[in-house]
Structure 1
Amino acid sequence: MALHLILLGPPASGKGTQGRRLAEREELAYLSTGALLREVLRNGGPVADEVRPTLAVGGYVSDSLMCDILEDWLARHEDGWVLDGFPRTVAQDDFLKHWLAAKGQAVDGALALEVPKAELVQRIEERVECPSCGWSGQTNQLKEGFQCPSCGEKAARRDDDSLENFMHRFEEYKEHTVPVIERYRALGMLAPVDASEPIDVVSKCVEQAVNQLKSDGQKA
């Protein structure tokens, strides 16, 4: 059965790490909206020019533009996926539901990674990303010479990972994404995960949460 899973949480909550692990374990496509947007910037063009000012200050791209960007990716990955960071707003969630419904599909569940704000700030200060393969994590996960543990290329701090940008993104998360989380909670489709634990512990909790979502789906 093709699974369609959403991974939500504040910035630096570990969505990238857990999303990639989950997608690999379930043999699903994985999408990081942040990585996708940074790829758009690298490719250049009118869309890049439109999103660059927003990303430079840690803002969220408009719903209409984000949905346009995601629609192309979704059309190429209809056999199941893990979405990291989408939908970030109720409007984006509406778009996703309508897009799936038109194909006789639906979201199977959402996972919400939960981490105290103080810990998120510390993570931001230590977060790095590989410009080659898109891996992201903490400095203590790097190999000697600041090398990416996934592909071996040199990782670096993200340009948008300033404390000011984090605070802006965190407030945007509370205003726009928390209502999406509460929507899935009200539907009985949300699996909260304590993401303040070590990575492997969180990964195990995510696995258990997904197994429960699959079990609930089979009973429905």
Structure 2
Amino acid sequence: MSVLNSPALRRLRSRKAAVAGVAVASAAAVGLTLVPTDADAGTTAEVAAAAPVSWKVDPAQAAKVQESIATQQSSFEAQVKAQLEKKKAEAEAAKKKAEAEKKAKAAAEKRAEEKAAADRKARAAKPAKVTYPNNLDGWIREALSIMKKHDIPGSYEGIHRNIMRESSGNPLAINNWDINARNGVPSKGLLQVIKPTFDAYHVAGTKHDQYDPVANIVAACNYAADRYGSMDNVDSAY
């Protein structure tokens, strides 16, 4: 391949042509009006053949070109400034958004922690529900807790002693042979209470059932407290 036709040389020529074109366009834009100073010049041929001619720049055109360049420069600077201010504003907005999200997250975490602390405090303040085994020991202890709330006297020993005498600890015990039975109101339950007595001394919050062990104990102790001062004072049929 000839050096004169190499790609590198062709690119160089193209670049020079482009530069030349820009130069020509710039010269046209600048509007430098070149006018011959010889007012007596004749034909174009005569001017071309004449001695070197003096040329001058039209001041008005030059001023216009300078003004145009200044205007373009000012517009370009304004655009650059506007873009910079836009980017700055976007960065500030992003920063504020991030800060707001951070604050919101911190506030949410704080509220969650406060709620958890309040829940823990409420659980600590609220006594745990006591459960009792479904046997004689559990029935007596549950009855004593209810009796304490209603200021009904009586002890575990006194209640247990009377239960063993009356029913041997059977909550379904029933007496079908004594005077109460003959009168149609047999004694029932752990402490062998007849229905009229159970109804009269039943304590609210317990089941209204003579055979319910806890209700039976509480009603009987309430009756014994009224008549004997306490179930602890009872040692025989009452």
Instruction: Return the structure number with greater helix share.
Output: 2
Could you say whether these structures have the same fold, taking a TM-score greater than 0.5 normalized by the shorter chain as the test?
no
TM-score, normalized by length of structure 2?
A: 0.19
Structure with larger RCO (C-alpha < 8 A, sep 6+): 1
TM-score, normalized by length of structure 1?
A: 0.20
Instruction: Return the structure number with greater strand share.
Output: 1
Greater Rg over alpha carbons, structure: 2
